[in-house]
């Protein structure tokens, strides 16, 4: 048994890119989202239940999962609005707001324990949704939720 402790920083992390290659968690071409406050990786299967006359309890089977990654971040100007141009990745250029507005497919690597060799991560692709930047005078720094609506399944891997 080995618990995954993220207190060292940069252990729980997510990298986005316009291709699976650019989203490589160990690479530098994608957008590594900075200043994440929390991240939740959902793999919520549906359930179909049925009763039969020869059973005293319901039977159940699971149906395809709804996959979704939700996080809250402190808004970083470059990450949210993009660097404009000049990088090799569309997500880096347009930022979270740009790829959400443009409904661009993004690929992701969601790391559980950093990006050193052997570190576990989940990958896949989907669409950015749920941006809702907010600020007030009690907490005068912009923060926003971010949702990645995953299209299809996760793939479990380890950094090579």
Partner 1 sequence: MAIRSDLLTDLTTNLSSTSVSVSTQVPYTSGDIPLYVKNMKKMYVDEEQQDITELYNCLDNNDVLQTETIVNAFVCVDAKTQPTDIDTVVSTCLNAKNSIANAIIRESSVENEYQDDKIIYTFEYRFITV
Question: Which H or E run contains 48?
Answer: strand 36-50
| 143: contact with partner 1 by CB under 8 A | yes
- CA distance linking residue 74 with residue 37, whole number of Å: 7
Query: Site for partner 1 (CB under 8 A): how many residues?
Result: 19
Identified binder of partner 1 from the candidate list 19, 27, 29, 36, rule CB under 8 A: 36
Q: Least distance from C-beta 73 to partner 1, angstroms? A: 8
Distance CA 74, CA 94 (A): 17
Residue 29 or 76: the one with the smaller Cβ distance to partner 1 is 76
Nearer to partner 1, 75 or 128 (CB): 75
How many whole angstroms separate alpha carbon 81 and alpha carbon 126?
19
Radius of gyration from C-alpha coordinates of the chain: 18
Q: Are 36 and 6 in contact (CB under 8 A)?
A: no
Q: How far apart are CA 50 and CA 152, in angstroms?
A: 26
* Residue 2 Cβ vs partner 1, minimum distance, rounded to whole Å: 19
Does residue 41 contact residue 12 with C-beta atoms inside 8 Å?
Answer: no
Q: Which stretch binds partner 1 (CB under 8 A): 34-42, 89-97, 102-110, 126-134?
A: 34-42
Closest approach, Cβ 103 to partner 1, in A, equals 27
Site string for partner 1, 65-104 (x = CB under 8 A): ---------x------------------------------
Say which residue the tokens 């149906």 belong to. Answer: 63
Residues that bind partner 1 (CB under 8 A): 6, 8-13, 34-39, 74, 137, 139-141, 143
């Amino acid at each position: 048994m080995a618990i995954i402790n993220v207190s060292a920083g940069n252990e729980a992390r997510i990298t986005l890119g316009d291709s699976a290659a650019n989203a490589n968690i160990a690479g530098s071409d994608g957008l590594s989202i900075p200043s994440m406050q929390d991240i939740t990786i959902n793999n919520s299967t549906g359930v179909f239940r049925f009763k039969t006359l020869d059973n005293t309890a319901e039977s159940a089977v699971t149906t395809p999962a709804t996959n979704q990654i939700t996080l809250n971040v402190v808004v970083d100007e470059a990450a949210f609005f993009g660097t404009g141009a000049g990088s090799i990745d569309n997500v880096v250029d347009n930022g979270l707001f740009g790829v959400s507005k443009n409904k661009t497919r993004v690929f992701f690597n969601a790391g559980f324990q950093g990006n050193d060799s052997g570190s576990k991560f989940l990958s896949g692709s989907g669409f950015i949704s749920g941006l809702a930047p907010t600020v007030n005078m009690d907490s005068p720094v912009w923060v926003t939720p971010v949702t990645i609506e995953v299209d299809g399944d996760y793939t479990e891997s380890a950094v090579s």
